[in-house]
Homo-oligomer: A and B are copies of this chain.
Amino acid sequence: MATSNAIEQLKEALKALPGVGPKNAQRMAFHLMERNREGAQKIADALNNALERIISCQRCNTFCESEICDICASEKRDKQLLCVVETPADLQAIEQVGAYRGLYFVLMGKLSPLEGIGPEQLGFKRLNAIVAENQIREVIIATNITAEGETTADYTQQMLAPYGISITRLARGVPVGGELEYMDQRTLAAAFKDRRATS
C-alpha cells in the first residue's frame, strides 16, 4: 500500500462520525491532508476543547461548561414546568422554536432493551427525585416519536403517575419515525401547542 500509516489511522478514526463509511472517510482524510491542513488542525483543537470542557449540568443533564447550565440557572424560566427529552440536541431543537419557557430534564438516551439500555442506564432516578423534591405542575414528555422513544415515554409516564401532577406528551404532529432534531420549527411548535393529557 502506498499511503502512510497516519492516513490509514485517520481514515479509521473518521469512521466514528455518524453516517461516514470507509469511502467517505478516505475522501475526508485526503481532502484535509491535501487541501485543508488548517481546517484539520481546527477540528482537532475543537474536539480536544469540547472533550475537556463539556460536562453535564448537575440538574438537567444537558451539555454545559459549568455545574449548572444557563437554562437551569435562569430566573426567567418557569420552574413548575419540566420537559423531558432524550438528548441535548432535542433540547436545542425545542429551544430554537422559542415557545417553551420551562425547565428540562435530559435522559441522555432512550430505553433500548436490545442495546442493554434499561432505566438504570438513563437518568430516571434523578428525574424522579426532581419531581419529588420540587413544586412541578406539569411534566411534558418530549421523547422522539419512535418505538424506543414511545417506550421511554410510557415508562416516564408510569414512573411519575403516583405524583398526581399533570403529565403531557407531544402531539403527534411530529411524523411517526421522525426525530426532533431534524423537525422543522412549525411542526415542532404545533406539537408543543397540541400536547395531549395522558389518560
Contacts and interface: CB of A to CB of B under 8 A. Distances in A.
**Majority SS at the chain A contact face:** helix
Contact of A63 (B19, B33, B40, B41): B33
B34 A89 contact: yes
A46 B10 contact: yes
Given A54-B7, A87-B30, A43 B43 contact: yes
Interface size class of A (residues with CB under 8 A): 35 or more
A13 B181 contact: no
A68 interface: no
A24 B19 CA distance: 9
A122 interface: no
Given A2-B95, A3-B92, A47-B10, A42 B16 contact: yes
A88 B30 contact: yes
B50 A2 contact: no
Interface string A32-44: 1110110111111
A130 interface: no
Contacts of A43: 13-14, 16-17, 43-44, 47
A89 to B, nearest CB: 4
Q: 3 closest Cβ contacts across the A-B interface?
A: A16-B39, A13-B46, A44-B47
Given A16-B40, A30-B181, A32-B47, 4 more contacts: A4-B53, A13-B45, A14-B46, A19-B24
